[in-house]
Structure 1
Amino acid sequence: MRRAEARGGKIIPSMPDLPLLPDPRDPRLTRRVTGTDQTGQPTEIAVVEERPLTIYLNRQEIVTAMTIGDHPDYLALGFLRNQGMLRDDDVVTGLDYDEEIDTVVVRTARETSYEAKVQKKTRTSGCAVGTVFGDMMEGLDGLVLPQAELRASWLYALARQINTTPSLYLEAGAIHGTVLCQQDRPLVYMEDVGRHNAVDKIAGFMFRHGLPAGDKILYTTGRLTSEMVIKTALMGIPVLASRSGFTAWGVEIARQVGLTLIGRMRGQRFVCLSGEARLIRDVDPALVPDEDRAQRRKGSDAD
């Protein structure tokens, strides 16, 4: 069992070196599997591992999520934070991960009970079926996101860096990525079988290390759905960008809360459907190198 360091009854996390990037060489995350190719010849490929992780908040079991198994502490904190079960002022007094039984227990100074909320679940679209407790729109009323600056040159630079970073996707596919960025710099790159898990890991990292959200950009390889927009807004991040497309409800909610929503971001092209006022077009798209075919194929599998 691993436990985060605690002093005086409060967790004192140490900030890892940034950028925090995927480790496709981690033997726990993929498995070599043999099969045959289209010609009937033997072949061997890497496939992503998938395992359950049960999350407890104090004495209450909250959910069992299917995940690749890395950063269970961030996933647990981020999931609880994004479901409104961890508040901004909550003091986390313990964070226990038992690898043998795939369980994380988050302990808080505040007594908690979410029996009613756990009973009310809404299935969401996307890979590795995401789960939202209670009212999906809870917390958005009166939300005002920071009027941060966004430059098109940052978007192009981020796309080039993220699309060429060694990752589990390039190693094995069948996975989504979410990246926390500041201006043109990726800070934290998380992957998982579902984009919901990947963004929860980002939320957990920010909560644990006290990172401010107002000057950040969230990049995802997946679709810009209602849940992705809601989670980004509740995290206080003013910009959400993706290689993939939009859902109508995702766009509607982004416009409601004033989130800048950038999609179909590939090569020289992108589309902004919300929050145009933040966007500064400081580069001629014709001067931006277009993607090669390998990068275009990479994007199509992440939708």
Structure 2
Amino acid sequence: MYNVKEIQPVTKYEDGMLHEMEDSIATEYPLTVYVNGEEFATMVCTPTNMEELIVGFLASDGLIRFPDEIESLSIDESKGFAYVDLKNKSISGDSFSNKRFIGSCCGKSRQFYFQHDAKTAKTITSRTTITVENCIKLMREMQEGSSDFQETGGLHNTALCSTEGVILSRSDIGRHNALDKIYGHCLLNNVSLKEKIIVFSGRISSEVLLKVSKIGVGIILSKSAPTTLAIELAEDLGITAVGFVRGNRLNIYSHPDRIINEVN
């Protein structure tokens, strides 16, 4: 059984001195997923909530819409393999034309197809609103709730929230993996996504924005910055993208009508 973190020896420089100590280091774990007997993708991830990760990943990639489309799912943690059999579904050769390696740092290590994403991305019509004060509160609550991040400094955090508080949080070395874990949990446990918000520690890339649209959430709050393409997609897909939620400030990049400033 793998852990989120491992204790490793390290030489630390502090106050003009070098000294030996132990430090908590985030675990990096390669997981190769086989679908219907064919090698589909290798994900570099944090080895927690891996069933959620696989289900969320398959849903994001458009292979499934609901968990009951999966005939069986098993994970051999010692070998780093996951085996998925889908019900009554043959996978076209195009799906396996290039075996994918999904790095922990995200971005172009994943295949990005506008045609493919057009089939699974959703235009969001949510009327959910949230105050600026609660945006800041949710970010603080997510960050303070992650002891693994505080110990290692090497994980991304993602939380599914109501307008008032965190409902569910997941961590991973890959920010896209953390989102897939959230999505997978919601699918496996039939969690309603109505009037929910995603709070996120990493940069809002186009891939992250598309994942949020596939999950079906209308507001994403990030501690970091968005990219230009992510903002364009947010405008097109009806998603409110908020970045630099730090301290007592934030930037709204798209659909600002969902963010309310309550002046006392």
Question: Normalising by structure 1, what TM-score?
Answer: 0.78
Q: How far did 1:145 drift? A: 3.3
In structure 2, relative to structure 1, the CA distance for the partners of 1:131 and 1:238 (3 Å cut) is same
Query: Is the Cα–Cα contact under 8 Å of residues 122 and 131 in structure 1 kept in the other structure?
Result: yes
Give the AA of the match of 1:54: T
**Equivalent runs, 1:1-303 vs 2, <5 Å:** 28-38=3-13, 39-88=17-66, 91-119=69-97, 127=105, 130-132=109-111, 134-135=113-114, 137-139=117-119, 143-282=123-262
What secondary structure does 1:183 align onto? Answer: coil
What secondary structure does 1:274 align onto? Answer: coil
Deviations 1:115-168 (A, max 9, x none): 313325888997156523643642367734322222323212212212221421
Q: How far did 1:56 drift? A: 2.2
What secondary structure does 2:225 align onto? Answer: coil
- Aligned identity (percent) is 25
Structure 1 segments (4+ residues) deviating >4 Å: 120-126
Give the AA of the match of 2:172: D
Quick one: distance in 2 between partners of 1:281 and 1:105?
48
Query: Is the Cα–Cα contact under 8 Å of residues 140 and 257 in structure 1 kept in the other structure?
Result: no
Query: Is the Cα–Cα contact under 8 Å of residues 120 and 134 in structure 1 kept in the other structure?
Result: no
Deviations 1:14-67 (A, max 9, x none): xxxxxxxxxxxx971211111212232212211111111111223222111111
What secondary structure does 2:191 align onto? Answer: coil
Q: How far did 1:107 drift? A: 2.8
What secondary structure does 2:141 align onto? Answer: helix
In structure 2, relative to structure 1, the CA distance for the partners of 1:142 and 1:105 (3 Å cut) is closer
Quick one: distance in 1 between partners of 2:257 and 2:120?
20
What secondary structure does 1:40 align onto? Answer: strand
Query: Is the Cα–Cα contact under 8 Å of residues 31 and 43 in structure 2 kept in the other structure?
Result: yes
What secondary structure does 1:270 align onto? Answer: strand
In structure 2, relative to structure 1, the CA distance for the partners of 1:45 and 1:27 (3 Å cut) is farther
What secondary structure does 2:118 align onto? Answer: coil
Query: Is the Cα–Cα contact under 8 Å of residues 260 and 278 in structure 1 kept in the other structure?
Result: yes
In structure 2, relative to structure 1, the CA distance for the partners of 1:232 and 1:128 (3 Å cut) is closer
Deviations 1:173-230 (A, max 9, x none): 1211111111122111111111011111111111111222231101110001100101
What secondary structure does 1:132 align onto? Answer: coil
Query: Is the Cα–Cα contact under 8 Å of residues 240 and 261 in structure 1 kept in the other structure?
Result: yes
Segments of 5+ residues of structure 1 without an aligned counterpart are 1-25, 285-303
Moved more, 32-41 or 224-233: 32-41
Segments of 5+ residues of structure 2 without an aligned counterpart are none
Quick one: distance in 1 between partners of 2:9 and 2:59?
40
Query: Is the Cα–Cα contact under 8 Å of residues 28 and 46 in structure 2 kept in the other structure?
Result: yes
Quick one: distance in 2 between partners of 1:121 and 1:97?
19
In structure 2, relative to structure 1, the CA distance for the partners of 1:65 and 1:141 (3 Å cut) is closer
What secondary structure does 1:158 align onto? Answer: helix
Give the AA of the match of 1:63: A
Query: Is the Cα–Cα contact under 8 Å of residues 218 and 239 in structure 2 kept in the other structure?
Result: yes
Query: Is the Cα–Cα contact under 8 Å of residues 153 and 283 in structure 1 kept in the other structure?
Result: no
Give the AA of the match of 1:268: N
